[in-house]
Chains A and B, each alone.
Chain A
Amino acid sequence: MSQISVTQRAAGAAEVPVSRAPYFPRKKKGISPQSIAIIVFLSMCALFFCIPLYVVVVTSFKTMDQIREGAIFALPQVWTLDAWDHAWNKACSGINCNGLKVGFWNSVMILFPSLALSIGLSMVTGYALALWNVRWAGGFLFLLFICAFVPFQIIMYPLIVMTSTAKVYGTLWGVAIIHAVLAMPVLTLIFRNYYKDIPQEIMSAAVMDSGSFWKIFIEIILPMSGNILIVVLILQITNIWNDYLIGVTFGGLNGQPMTVNLANLVTISTGTTNYAHNMAAALLTAIPPLVVYFVVGKLFVQGVTSGAIKG
């Protein structure tokens, strides 16, 4: 994340000494062969990146008869929504055949409390660490930094024991809480990095104004946090929605998110696989984060790169 600030600083610095130096002749208007080669290459790469999406979309509208013919790239002869209907309403995950809609609503119910918990906790922590003189802040930050890189497997069993002691194991709340816990170190570092650029003068003035810790947080810091909040929100929405491991570990039988249902569907080895159903299910799972991506693309990039540390 310091990466970001460094590159931004560098980019800012690069713009100050005017780069459009007048003693170079203006670029010619036509397209050079080199440009054409680059655009062709990039287009081919783009094609490669689009193939999976295309295949998934096309397959989800096909009938099983057409799929058996084997032309994976062909358009559907008859466009049908059967697979979508089946995936949403009737697909089996384990012994339940209520479709992906169960997992979808589970994912939604996990998402909101988890967002509130993780962002609330790390925002306050980041604020306290960045703007208040806490003597042990440095050591704690270092500890958080280490925690951000710890593989989940090494804390998995103790967390299972703790959540089952707290009677939240196997519930949506359990999954949501674990998400919040695991995201806390990274999010705290992000918020702290953002807040530490707030000028000390503002803080001094605020403290002089007999502002207390919480009063300053609510009246000054919160209104200044719009940008970083959106970035973190995007980061967390995609992270939580796309998670599989935490959902499958802590969701039990009733708290499984959509990704777990999808994984059960595609890895099933008994009976004949209906690929149209699988692809419709994959698309249904992918749509929410894709919508986020296409609606707020630029902020999404900021989000993933500022949370880059999480990998």
Chain B
Amino acid sequence: MKTMRWSRISPQAALMPAVAVTLVAFVGSILWTVYLSFTRSRRLPEYGIDWSEWGRQYNRLFRDAGWEISLRNLIVLGLGSALAIVFGFILAAMIDKEKRGESLFRTVFLYPLAVSLIVTGAAWRWILNPTLGAQSFLRGLGWQVDFNWLAQPDTAMYAIILASVWQSAGFYMALMLAGLKGINSEIWSAAKLDGVPLWRLYVEIVIPMMKFTFITCAILLSLGVIKAYDVVVAMTNGGPGQSTWVPAYFTINALSAKSNLGYASAAAVMMLIITLVVFVPLVALTAWQQRKGVAR
């Protein structure tokens, strides 16, 4: 009898630390930040809310050119990084089709993922160095290329995209390869017998079958893009000017460099809202796909 009682209580007791962490560090902290975003807090928190203008931090935020740049860059980075999914799929499809050298190619394409984004940024920053890097090498070969992306405001984002695609394409390749291997091998033989061209097979059958994998990749990509911070710091540190600011950078800059707590909180809340807006439909879609998959 005694053991029965204990077996009821101990699992719940064992869950308490995790519950406490969740409620304090996540739920409580989110509410705290949301509350702060309505206050006039600057360097130090202020807990009075002036209800006549509770949305002042948000008003300021929406008028801030830096925030607008951040949002625009978020979209640019999202679209640019999506290349990593496309690239990852192409690599996976080729590796899957041609089994020779599979493990070698997989190893090479995936190693950037093991490395810190700060290291990735440092490496690409060096390659993109205008006077000593790849540009001077290519010009030495007689090609008049302009590869000086980092120093120019309108191209600096490309450099960040290049580094992020390089870092993450292998990861999407690994996910896609798993998805491709899950496809019934009879499809390939059937298509061969029917004489269907390979590209049509991919577009009309393989890619639709891998919907679930693609949605997963899209979720991970959008989360990665919203969280993108390290790579910006290592590549450009937000510059030139504010040209490579992204919301994650904007928020931390508002908190640390400008020490404006209320403002940073408002930006952080907007980040959470962006995450939810992107994330909820995608997760709903995944859940729906998964249910369909189980039913099948």
Contact = CB atoms under 8 A, between A and B. Distances in A.
Nearest to A122: B18
B227 A289 contact: no
A266 interface: yes
A35 B96 CA distance: 11
Contacts of A185: 22, 26
Interface residues of A, number: 103
B29 A154 contact: yes
A149 B224 CA distance: 10
Given A6-B182, A125-B17, A244-B234, 12 more contacts: A14-B181, A51-B127, A70-B136, A162-B24, A184-B18, A242-B115, A242-B118, A259-B116, A262-B118, A267-B233, A281-B122, A311-B219
Interface string B21-59: 110111111101100100000000100000000000000
28 contacts: A3-B212, A3-B216, A35-B98, A38-B94, A38-B98, A46-B104, A53-B111, A59-B126, A70-B131, A70-B132, A132-B7, A132-B11, A134-B11, A144-B22, A151-B227, A151-B271, A153-B271, A154-B268, A154-B272, A155-B26, A156-B268, A157-B268, A188-B18, A259-B116, A263-B234, A278-B126, A308-B175, A311-B224
B132 A275 contact: yes
B285 interface: no
Interface string A173-204: 00000000100110010000000000000000
A134 B15 contact: yes
Contact of B19 (A6, A132, A140, A285): A140
A14 B184 contact: yes
Interface residues of B, number: 108
Given A3-B212, A19-B186, A308-B220, A125 B15 contact: yes
A136 to B, nearest CB: 9
Contacts of A39: 98, 100-101
Nearest to A51: B127
B contact patch SS: helix
Interface in B151-202: 166, 170-171, 174-175, 178-179, 181-186, 189
Contact of B124 (A41, A52, A289): A52
Contact of B182 (A14, A127, A162, A188): A14
A138 interface: no
A140 B15 CA distance: 10
Interface in A123-181: 124-125, 127-129, 132-134, 140, 143-144, 147, 149-159, 161-162, 181
Interface in A278-311: 278-279, 281-282, 285-286, 289-290, 292-294, 297, 300-301, 304-305, 308-309, 311
A14 B6 CA distance: 45
